């Protein structure tokens, strides 16, 4: 119809500052979407792995067997990572001390470390998403204000200030705000969603760590009773 | 257990994110040009009302109607014209007659006035002359009395002289007395003559003054007559101008009435045509319908011929309502109109609009394109957005039909 008002045309005709702002916002939007996709996939996989591991853990398999299934140099994740960290520490401490309390302390500490690593892994890049979500509207607004300033400057030079002389300027300035919102809205939504997801996963890991800890505690208690008897 | 411990990489998410942005860009390029002028021009409408005159396709319909009712109309027009002319002529003649009468009357009056003035002057002169005569008579009597006295005195003196002559030296004295008396008489006569001459001179002077006054009065009367004539002429000219103006106004009014009547007839013709079309659709009622329509039209025509003034005023009221209606419609269209940017200032597009009986929009189409497709479309969209025009129902019935076909001219300065 009139390509003077189409969005690509407006972007091409915008002033340099506004174009830079638009570029920044485009990059921010792109990166935030990369993070969103990557985190979504990662969360889904972590959930799947955790479910599989819990099924196997509670299937009545021997813990030593479960521990030996995976070669020690291979990196694991989720609940399995916590289990391996705790069980390795348990196996290492068992020959060195007879105090069940000391063993349980060491196991708990190592499991907490593993949980903390899992937390760091799950929450990586989510801060970037939060930054994009909160900053890009302001960046877009800056571009709009700059563009409107330019439009008023051009208006002061025009002989007759009709709407059609300012309209393209304002439209192209408003595109910056639109792009800011375009970047911010998915970032906000997915930041909330992914944070909730990772919190839920970390809660599951914590539950598992507590359960594993109670199993080890029961084991040690039985062994010390047997040793005592 | 599936031991796929490959990390979740960034390759696929990057690909997906880029793909998403590309898709968004594509969508904005493809579909936004069509849709983006809906949110964008939500701002103030730039259309301004340039004039209140409305352009309808009345002319076309008028032509059609004229062809249909040409003979009838021409006859009527001729009649009306003739009548108007006769009336105007009669009025003019009467006016002229009256004016001449007035002029004559004024002239007569002036004459009469002059005569009267003359008569007055004459009477005055006569009275003066009588006065003078009387005075002269009185003087004469006085003189006679004096003469009598003198004669008596002379007699006495004669007597005395006779007596003195008788008394010896009386003659001389008598002579002397006689001489003296004669001298006295002469002196008296002399005095009398002088007085008479004086009187005569005075009378002559008076008569002269009288003549002078008469002349003056005459002059005055003449001047007055002239002034009167002048005034009369001026009044005549004024009267003439006024009469001309009146005649002009009369002609104008008659023309207007004629025009109104013509419009009325056209509307009538229009209605009849539509009625005929309807009747054609309804085949079975055709004959009755047509006959009724004809009768009605005839009655209407009769009514029009008999009293051209009454429908004229009706038509005027209807015209007023129609103007209001078109103004409202135009305003609504202007408010709904979003002028696309970068339109040439001379662009004009004529949109012909057909409305339903209750003002709903049937068709809005470009009658004369401006050459700018976007501009044409914007005009059509403005009409579509402004519809329905419920004000149509408030019009008189015959005008409703007329205004169901309107055409508007859109130019960047406004709708007309």
Q: Which of B200, B231, B255 is the last residue of a domain?
A: B255
Of A1, A29, A30, the CB nearest to B37: A1
pLDDT of residue A144: 92
pLDDT digits (tens, 9 = 90+) for A111-151: 999 999 999 999 988 999 999 999 999 999 999 999 888 88
Pair B134, B176: CB distance under 8 Å: no
**A101 exposed, middle or buried (CB, 10 Å; 0-12, 13-18, 19+)?**
exposed
B33 to A5: CB separation less than 8 angstroms, yes or no:
yes
pTM: 0.42
- Based on C-alpha coordinates, what's the Rg of chain B? 55
B111 and B243 fall within a common domain: yes
What is the rounded CA–CA span in Å between residue B18 and residue A27? 10
Asked whether the CA dihedral A158, A162, A166, A168 is positive or negative, the reply is: negative
What is the rounded CA–CA span in Å between residue A223 and residue B266? 118
Chain A nearest C-alpha distance from B410 (Å): 18
What is the rounded CA–CA span in Å between residue B320 and residue B54? 12
The H or E element spanning position A101 is helix A100-123
Tokens standing for B14?
Answer: 């990057």
Question: Which residues of chain B make contact with A4, given a CB cutoff of 8 A?
Answer: 341-342
Chain B nearest C-alpha distance from A108 (Å): 25
Closest CA to A81 of A205, A201, A194, A220: A205
Tokens standing for A201?
Answer: 């996963």
pLDDT digits (tens, 9 = 90+) for A67-102: 888 777 777 888 888 988 998 998 898 888 878 888
Mean pLDDT, residues A189-216: 93
B43: in domain: no
pLDDT of residue B40: 41
Chain B nearest C-alpha distance from A61 (Å): 13
Question: Which residues of chain A make contact with B20, given a CB cutoff of 8 A?
Answer: 33
Q: DSSP state, B340?
A: P
What is the rounded CA–CA span in Å between residue A102 and residue A80? 23
Of A52, A75, A168, the CB nearest to B1: A52
What is the rounded CA–CA span in Å between residue B53 and residue B330? 10
Q: Could you give the 3-state DSSP secondary structure of residue B51?
A: coil
Q: Which domain holds residue A223?
A: 3-228
B129: in domain: yes
B329: in domain: yes
Does the ipTM exceed 0.90?
no
Whether the ω angle into residue B338 lies within 30 degrees of 0, i.e. cis, is no
B404: in domain: yes
Matching residue, tokens 């889904």: A44
B299: in domain: no
Domain count, chain B: 2
Of B5, B40, B41, the CB nearest to A74: B5
pLDDT of residue B4: 46
Write the DSSP assignment of A149-207 as a string of letters.
Answer: HHHHHHHHH-SS--HHHHHHHHHHHHHHHHHHHHHHHHHHHHHHHHHHHHHHHHHHHHH
B249 and B103 fall within a common domain: yes
Question: Which residues of chain B make contact with A3, given a CB cutoff of 8 A?
Answer: 33
Chain B nearest C-alpha distance from A189 (Å): 16
Question: Which residues of chain A make contact with B34, given a CB cutoff of 8 A?
Answer: 1
In chain B, helix, strand, coil percent, each to 5? Answer: 75, 5, 15
pLDDT of residue A226: 66
Q: What is the pLDDT along chain B (416 residues), one digit of tens a residue?
A: 444 445 678 889 899 999 999 998 888 777 655 544 444 444 444 444 454 444 455 555 555 655 766 667 667 777 777 787 777 777 777 777 777 777 778 778 777 877 777 787 777 777 877 777 788 788 888 888 888 887 888 787 777 767 766 777 767 776 787 888 888 888 888 888 888 888 998 988 898 988 998 898 899 989 888 888 888 888 888 888 888 888 898 888 889 888 898 888 888 888 888 887 877 777 777 677 777 877 888 887 776 666 555 555 666 676 777 777 778 877 888 888 877 777 777 778 888 888 877 777 888 888 888 877 888 888 888 888 887 777 777 777 777 777 777 788 887 777 76
pLDDT of residue B373: 81
For residue B411, the domain's CATH number is: 3.30.1150.10
B151: in domain: yes
Pair B385, B312: CB distance under 8 Å: no
Whether the ω angle into residue A32 lies within 30 degrees of 0, i.e. cis, is no
B350: in domain: yes
Chain A nearest C-alpha distance from B329 (Å): 24
B236 and B385 fall within a common domain: no
Of A8, A29, A38, the CB nearest to B29: A8
What is the rounded CA–CA span in Å between residue A163 and residue B36? 17
Q: Which domain holds residue B331?
A: 321-416
Q: Does A42 touch chain B (CB under 8 A)?
A: yes
B28 to A33: CB separation less than 8 angstroms, yes or no:
no
Of A1, A38, A162, the CB nearest to B13: A38
B278: in domain: no
Q: Which of B213, B235, B255 is the last residue of a domain?
A: B255
Residues 201-240 of B with CB under 8 A from A: none
B12 to A167: CB separation less than 8 angstroms, yes or no:
no
Domain count, chain A: 1
């Amino acid at each position: 119809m009139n390509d003077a008002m189409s969005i690509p045309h407006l972007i091409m005709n915008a002033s340099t500052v506004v174009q830079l702002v638009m570029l920044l916002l485009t990059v921010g939007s792109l990166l935030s979407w990369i993070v969103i996709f990557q985190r979504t996939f990662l969360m889904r996989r972590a959930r799947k792995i955790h479910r599989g591991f819990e099924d196997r853990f509670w299937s009545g398999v021997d813990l030593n067997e479960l521990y030996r299934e995976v070669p020690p140099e291979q990196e694991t994740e989720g609940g399995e990572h916590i289990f391996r960290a705790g069980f390795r520490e348990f196996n290492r401490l068992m020959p060195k001390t007879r105090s069940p309390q000391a063993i349980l302390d060491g196991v708990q500490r190592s499991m907490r470390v593993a949980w903390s690593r899992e937390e760091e892994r799950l929450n990586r890049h989510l801060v970037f998403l939060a930054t994009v979500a909160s900053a890009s509207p302001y960046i877009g607004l800056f571009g709009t204000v700059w563009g409107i300033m330019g439009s008023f400057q051009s208006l002061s030079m025009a002989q007759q200030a009709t709407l059609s002389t300012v309209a393209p300027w304002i439209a192209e300035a408003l595109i910056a705000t639109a792009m800011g919102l375009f970047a911010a809205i998915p970032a906000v939504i997915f930041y909330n969603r992914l944070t909730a997801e990772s919190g839920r996963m970390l809660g599951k890991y914590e539950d598992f760590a507590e359960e594993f800890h109670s199993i080890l505690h029961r084991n040690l208690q039985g062994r010390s009773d047997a040793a005592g008897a | 257990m599936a031991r796929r411990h490959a990390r979740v990489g960034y390759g696929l998410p990057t690909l997906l994110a880029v793909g998403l942005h590309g898709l968004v860009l594509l969508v904005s390029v493809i579909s936004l040009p069509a849709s983006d002028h809906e949110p964008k021009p939500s701002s103030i409408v730039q259309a301004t009302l340039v004039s209140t005159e409305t352009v309808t396709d009345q002319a076309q319909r008028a032509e059609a109607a004229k062809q249909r009712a040409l003979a009838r109309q021409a006859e009527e027009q001729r009649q009306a014209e003739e009548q108007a002319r006769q009336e105007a002529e009669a009025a003019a003649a009467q006016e002229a007659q009256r004016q001449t009468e007035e002029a004559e009357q004024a002239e007569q009056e002036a004459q009469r006035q002059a005569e009267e003035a003359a008569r007055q002057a004459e009477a005055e002169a006569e009275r003066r002359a009588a006065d003078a005569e009387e005075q002269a008579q009185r003087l004469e009597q006085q003189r006679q009395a004096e003469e009598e006295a003198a004669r008596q005195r002379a007699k006495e003196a004669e007597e005395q002289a006779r007596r003195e002559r008788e008394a010896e030296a009386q003659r001389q004295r008598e002579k002397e007395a006689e001489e003296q008396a004669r001298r006295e008489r002469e002196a008296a006569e002399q005095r009398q003559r002088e007085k008479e001459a004086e009187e005569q001179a005075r009378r002559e002077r008076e008569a002269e003054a009288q003549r002078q006054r008469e002349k003056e009065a005459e002059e005055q009367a003449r001047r007055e007559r002239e002034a009167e004539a002048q005034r009369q002429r001026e009044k005549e000219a004024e009267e003439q101008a006024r009469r001309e103006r009146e005649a002009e106004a009369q002609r104008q009014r008659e023309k207007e009435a004629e025009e109104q009547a013509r419009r009325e007839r056209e509307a009538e013709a229009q209605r009849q045509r539509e009625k005929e079309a309807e009747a054609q659709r309804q085949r079975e009622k055709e004959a009755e319908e047509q006959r009724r329509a004809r009768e009605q039209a005839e009655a209407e025509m009769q009514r029009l011929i008999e009293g051209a003034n009454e429908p004229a005023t009706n038509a005027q009221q209807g015209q007023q309502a129609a103007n209001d209606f078109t103004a409202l419609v135009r305003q609504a269209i202007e408010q709904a109109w979003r002028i696309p940017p970068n339109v040439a200032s001379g662009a004009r597009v004529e949109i012909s609009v057909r409305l339903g009986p209750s003002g709903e929009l049937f068709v809005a189409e470009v009658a004369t394109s401006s050459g700018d497709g976007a501009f044409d479309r914007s005009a059509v969209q403005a009409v579509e957005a402004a519809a329905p025009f419920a004000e149509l129902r408030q019009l008189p019935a015959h005008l409703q039909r007329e205004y169901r076909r309107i055409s508007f001219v859109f130019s960047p300065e406004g709708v007309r």
